[in-house]
Amino acid sequence: MSKVKMTKQELRKMSFRWSWNRSLSWNYEKMMSLGYLTTLAPFLDRIYADDEEARQRSYAVHSQFFNTEPNFGNVILGMNVAIEEELGKDGIDTAQGVKTSLMGPFAGIGDTLFGVISSTILGSIAVATAVEGSYVGIALWIMWNIFVLFFLRPAMFTMGYNQGIKLVTNLSGQLKRFTNAASVLGLTVVGAMIASMVGVKFGAFEFFGTTFDIQAGIADKIMPKLGSALAVALFYYLLGRKGVNPNRLIWIVMIVTLVLSYMGILVTP
């Protein structure tokens, strides 16, 4: 239908356009909607240059609600461009269908892969080296950010464009495997961080003239860093309870810890 064919360079430019515009106007009503439309607008102007009605309809469709993980947004945009390039105005509804059906699952996969795992692994290494006074970990993390912006996101855009919908079926099994493996690495690192970064020390109390040192007498005999493990287990459990969110947990932990330290049950590690 349309004679426009995007070059590799143009797709790359669109990926950067998305990276900049995606969340500037993020709002509770339509979330990334404006970012999506802004990214596509020049493309839509070009392919519907001779058909004002189709152009306006595509604008209307692409200003609908949109929200996903920013990196995986590239894949969806790539598919969308390919579909409308090939089918023209007959592809607008198909493109919208792809958008709405993929944004949810991609948000889930993307948040796990990019949000949790990259920040768990790289973040933990950065934290551990930073508190020892070394810039190594943070340098690694910055290199990862640069790689994502300049290579990974444009590559994901092109991948969505080239492979279209068949990518999703090909990738879903692979991605699950990859996510699981990355989670294993993440969990191993977090386990070590719990032992090395969380400090909990129990106090001693007197009972009929005898001093009971909870830390040396009980906790250390069971295993080192027992308090750290207990603290994480307790907070993990609390977060699963209704009405406890991370922001509230911060306040609960602060107040309860102050009370326990006043009573001498917790002391400076």
Binding residues among 199-238 for another protein as defined by CB under 8 A: 199-200, 223-225, 228-229, 231-232, 235-236, 238
- Are 161 and 78 in contact by the 8 Å Cβ rule? The answer is yes
By the rule CB under 8 A, 20 interacts with another protein? yes
Total residues interacting with another protein, rule: CB under 8 A: 108
- Are 30 and 47 in contact by the 8 Å Cβ rule? The answer is no
Of 116, 241, 115, 137, residue with least CA distance to 186:
116
By the rule CB under 8 A, 175 interacts with another protein? no
By the rule CB under 8 A, 67 interacts with another protein? yes
Distance, in Å, from the CA atom of 110 to the CA atom of 102, rounded to the nearest integer, reads 11
Kindly tell me which residue out of 4, 87, 127, 204 binds another protein, with binding defined by CB under 8 A.
Answer: 127
By the rule CB under 8 A, 135 interacts with another protein? yes
* Interface segment toward another protein; rule CB under 8 A; list 37-45, 86-94, 154-162, 204-212: 37-45
Q: What does the per-residue mask of binding to another protein show for 179-198, with x meaning CB under 8 A?
A: -xxxxxxxxxxxxxxxxxxx
Considering only residues 78-107, where is the footprint of another protein by CB under 8 A? 107
- Whichever of 63 and 163 has its CB closer to another protein, that residue is 63
Considering only residues 155-174, where is the footprint of another protein by CB under 8 A? 173
- Whichever of 152 and 159 has its CB closer to another protein, that residue is 152
- Whichever of 1 and 16 has its CB closer to another protein, that residue is 16
Distance, in Å, from the CA atom of 199 to the CA atom of 41, rounded to the nearest integer, reads 53
Q: How far is the CB of 56 from another protein (least distance, A)?
A: 5
Hey, how many other C-beta atoms are within 10 angstroms of the C-beta on 180?
Answer: 10
Please calculate the CA angle 151-156-159 and round it to the nearest 5 degrees. Answer: 120
Q: How far is the CB of 227 from another protein (least distance, A)?
A: 9
- Are 76 and 103 in contact by the 8 Å Cβ rule? The answer is yes
Distance, in Å, from the CA atom of 8 to the CA atom of 169, rounded to the nearest integer, reads 24
Q: How far is the CB of 21 from another protein (least distance, A)?
A: 6
If 0-12 CB within 10 Å is exposed, 13-18 middle and 19+ buried, where does residue 107 land?
middle
Distance, in Å, from the CA atom of 191 to the CA atom of 134, rounded to the nearest integer, reads 21
